[in-house]
């Protein structure tokens, strides 16, 4: 996660223009963790250092809410250190496929551009080391270079805590268009994002603090060719006041203030998060 630059005023206007009526969606019921395959994956020793986050990230419930099942093809946007990679690769199994995707290069500059451009080369090997699955079975690409044969073949795309970067860094339009091209006609886009309070001021919710208002995220995604079909409180955290002067990074796992009030922030836990599911519109 990183702090980002200011976003274009045009994008703000577009989000505000989407009627509130379009945002209505059924609340998802609570999901019981009763999938033995998922339980096996979550208990794997490869996840020993990841497991401390399970209580805040609810991976079994979140992936069930995204309607992800073994045998599917799932693309994971900006997989970073591989927290979900280590779950999805084994869970999807030999008949499924995990794909690592990252932002296109159109608006990237400097070190960020270099890092993104290098992603297809280094990520499969990293993921292989994390999961024990051969690198050849874990494709990766930037979203401005989607292979023609991949278009229309993906069941699910996940964007986990990255919309606050995509929007102000000007990735949102290009990357969501590319994601639409990847998804099957009945494909779904699952999003988890740090949630600001509904009345939080614009100065706090433009992405640079990590938090975004749920209504704004829904408006932005719907304006880019998707329709909200469900939302869930799986990853809600009422202890998070979502108004930290140093942004979401004040809380675990970053703890940007280090030892200052560390016990307080650890007791709060990770951020309050929206969990949203969108269908690809024709």
CB distance 33 to 214 below 8 Å: no
> Given this model, what pLDDT does residue 26 score?
46
Is residue 273 in some structural domain?
yes
Whether 2 is covered by a domain: the verdict is: no
Judged against a pLDDT cut of 50, whether residue 27 lies above it is answered with: no
Q: Is residue 3 part of a domain?
A: no
Answer whether residue 1 is part of any domain.
Answer: no
Q: How far, in Å, CA of 180 to CA of 235, rounded?
A: 25
pLDDT at residue 34, rounded to an integer:
72
Q: Assess if residue 99 is contained within a domain.
A: yes
**Mean pLDDT of all residues in 34-50:** 94
Instruction: Quote the number of domains for the chain.
Output: 1
Cis omega (within 30 of 0) for bond into 253:
yes
Domain CATH number, residue 67: 3.40.50.150
Provide the pLDDT for residue 9: 37
Look at residue 124 in the predicted model and tell me its pLDDT: 98
Q: Is 186 a domain residue? A: yes
E strands, the chain, are 73-77, 97-102, 140-142, 154-160, 183-194, 226-232, 273-280
With respect to residue 4, please indicate whether it lies within any of the assigned structural domains. no
Average pLDDT over residues 231-250: 98
Q: Which domain holds residue 75?
A: 9-280
- Is 148 inside a domain boundary? yes
For helices 214-222 and 9-17, angle between their N-to-C axes, nearest 10 degrees: 90
Cα torsion 220, 225, 231, 233 to 10°: value is -40
pLDDT level of residue 33 (50, 70, 90 thresholds): low
Residue 13 has pLDDT above 70, yes or no: no
């Amino acid at each position: 996660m990183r702090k980002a630059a200011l976003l274009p005023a045009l994008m703000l206007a577009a989000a505000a223009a989407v009627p509130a009526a379009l945002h209505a969606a059924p609340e998802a019921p609570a999901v019981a963790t009763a999938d033995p395959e998922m339980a096996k994956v979550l208990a794997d020793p490869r996840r020993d250092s990841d497991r401390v986050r399970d209580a805040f990230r609810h991976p079994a419930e979140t992936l069930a809410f995204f309607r992800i099942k073994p045998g599917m093809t799932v693309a994971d946007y900006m997989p970073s250190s591989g927290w979900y990679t280590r779950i999805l690769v084994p869970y999807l199994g030999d008949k499924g496929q995990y794909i690592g995707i990252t932002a296109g290069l159109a608006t990237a500059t400097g070190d960020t551009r270099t890092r993104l451009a290098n992603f297809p080369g280094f990520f499969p090997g990293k993921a292989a080391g994390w999961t024990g699955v051969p690198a050849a079975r874990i494709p990766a690409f930037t979203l401005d270079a989607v292979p023609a044969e991949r278009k229309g073949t993906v069941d699910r795309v996940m964007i986990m805590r990255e919309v606050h970067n995509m929007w102000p860094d000007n990735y949102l339009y290009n990357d969501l268009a590319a994601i639409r091209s990847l998804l099957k006609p009945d494909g779904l886009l699952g999003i988890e994002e740090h949630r600001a309070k509904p009345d939080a001021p614009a100065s706090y919710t433009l992405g640079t603090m990590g938090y975004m208002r749920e209504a704004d995220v829904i408006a932005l995604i719907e304006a880019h060719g998707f329709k909200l079909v469900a939302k869930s409180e799986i990853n809600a955290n009422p202890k998070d006041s979502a108004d930290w002067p140093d942004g979401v990074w004040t809380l675990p796992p970053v703890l940007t203030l280090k030892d200052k009030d560390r016990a307080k922030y650890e007791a709060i836990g990770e951020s309050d998060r929206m969990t949203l599911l969108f269908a690809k519109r024709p």
